[in-house]
Structure 1
């Protein structure tokens, strides 16, 4: 599952992925901004795209895949970052982020996964909700991504769908866990001022099947790297 692809719909670079065996690709993209995609070796039973905040800004895509047990619906999100000022009265981007979370919560309460499916939510949710999801809880309480209003909003979203944070199944909540390091640090690795902005949630029935979690921290040091690193989870299905 990919976020912030910044690729116009229909122009996703699928050929190299198909050569690696990922023959099934679902995308929602636009030129220059946002964009999400799901690539798979398994065929899709269904595909869906949902609009949030009355915007066609390519921040969600979902697919369902068959397994030997129940089908699994996978939701891939790119939640708005929210700008720099954590005040919705003066920052339209932050207001948009809070509205996006409200709409996610309402949708999850209604049911975003068919009753005969298990479900997964992944993506760049742009919020580090727990104390040890950031390098300094105290220093970041007034910084967008870790403010109380954002973390409370994300907690409501998670609770609305009864989602299980499977990353924290593997790394206890009192241990530091990051998926993002800012470009602003001269030496990101030495400073290690990270945040966990990327998440994997599952329905309770699927959570025990998550057998392994890997954070590919070394990717942050690659040439022209993203400030996010890949997050991998292995499920025994």
Structure 2
């Protein structure tokens, strides 16, 4: 199953003002390592956006998005907030692999990681979901989310022929992951919640909407999604 998102490999220097991130405890750092490992299971070359403000860093990761303006693939992003022991102001997009390399040595750095020296241009990182105006619509149980995700993965696998071209992959992804499900949310959101490990909670998710966006949230994180631009 192909859910790869585009990442422009043009590299740029990280802003010199980017101070190291010092996590409140090692558990926070290990949670980040787990999240990035899951993201790389979707796309080994994936990027991650780190937005630190004060004592919290918002970690944004891509699940899927359109590669061209003509594609109808929905946008699905994962976000998790982690606590820092020292205030920081950072907004950079870097390679997930580079962050994982630094997290592997965090036991020796006192819970601190340096920001990778180069950034990448990932088109999805320029998509900014609303920060306010969300309206709670209800609750979605974890079993329903898993069923939607598993059914979608099976449908994608069955729909793709051997050695499919890019156009075929895009069409299949748009049709299956863009299908409206519970609360009129695209099914790709359930896939994101499952593959990122946010659906391991038995409590399920609270569901919110704001314009074309849906957000499902629990203590593990948030999945934000919207339909493809041409849908």
TM tier, shorter chain? under 0.3
Question: TM-score, with normalisation over the residues of structure 2?
Answer: 0.26
Higher relative contact order (CA 8 A, sep 6+): 2
TM-score (norm 1): 0.25
Higher helix share: 2
